Structure 1
Amino acid sequence: MFVLELTYTADLESIDAVLAQHIEWLDAHYAAGTFLASGRKVPRDGGVILAVGEDRALIEALVATDPFVRAGLTEYRVTEFLATTTAEVLAAHRRQLPA
């Protein structure tokens, strides 16, 4: 599982100009089953996405396709973690610690 943390590198006017494209991008990855949750940070200086995947390189490649990134408006911090304990709704994403 991955925590994708966005930090805006541009003003909110520039962010808002690309927001509809970013939301379409999010929707496509929700439909594909890659994204589980997302939203704005408070204060509004970026956002957070909870994503699933087995390959960090694929997640990093996916991040590079975000319209915010392509427009040079944000930077991402990708944090991978093993979700060993979850709410029941996320049980399918639980992982065992390596031996």
Structure 2
Amino acid sequence: MFIISLTYKTSLEDVERFIPEHNIFLDQQYNAGHFIAYGRKEPRTGGIILSNAGSKDKVEEIIRRDPFYIHQVADYEIIEFIPSKYNEHFKFFITNS
């Protein structure tokens, strides 16, 4: 499992220009089963993606397709973790990653 933390490195005005493309990217990865959840940080300084893409290399490959990455409006931090305790409803994401 991975937490992908995005931090904007440009103005919100610049970020806003790429939101529609970024949302399409997020939906594609969600539908492909690589992303479990995503949303923006509060205050609005970036976003968080929860991923079960299988490997850090796979996460890095996926990120390179993100319009935010392509247009250099966000920095990415990838944090790998191994869930040791989780809600039973979440088990599907752990055993199918």
Deviates more, 1:13-22 or 1:81-90: 81-90
Shift of 1:86: 1.4
- Provide TM-score, normalisation by structure 1: 0.90
C-alpha separation between the residues in 1 aligned to 2:56 and 2:38?
18
Q: Which runs of 5+ in 2 are unaligned?
A: none
Correspondence for 2:55: 55
Shift of 1:92: 2.1
Shift of 1:9: 0.5
What does 1:20-99 correspond to in 2, within 5 Å? 20-94=20-94
C-alpha separation between the residues in 2 aligned to 1:30 and 1:94?
15
> What is the total number of aligned residue pairs between the two structures?
95
Q: Which runs of 5+ in 1 are unaligned?
A: none
2:35·2:53 contact (CA, 8 Å) conserved in 1? no
RMSD: 1.1
Deviates more, 1:32-41 or 1:81-90: 81-90
Q: Which runs of 4+ in 1 moved over 6 A?
A: none
2:22·2:66 contact (CA, 8 Å) conserved in 1? yes
Residue identity (%): 34
Correspondence for 1:6: 6
1:85·1:94 contact (CA, 8 Å) conserved in 2? no
- Provide TM-score, normalisation by structure 2: 0.92
Shift of 1:65: 1.1
Shift of 1:8: 0.3
AA aligned to 1:47 is G
Select the structure of larger CA radius of gyration.
Answer: 1
SS at match of 2:19: helix
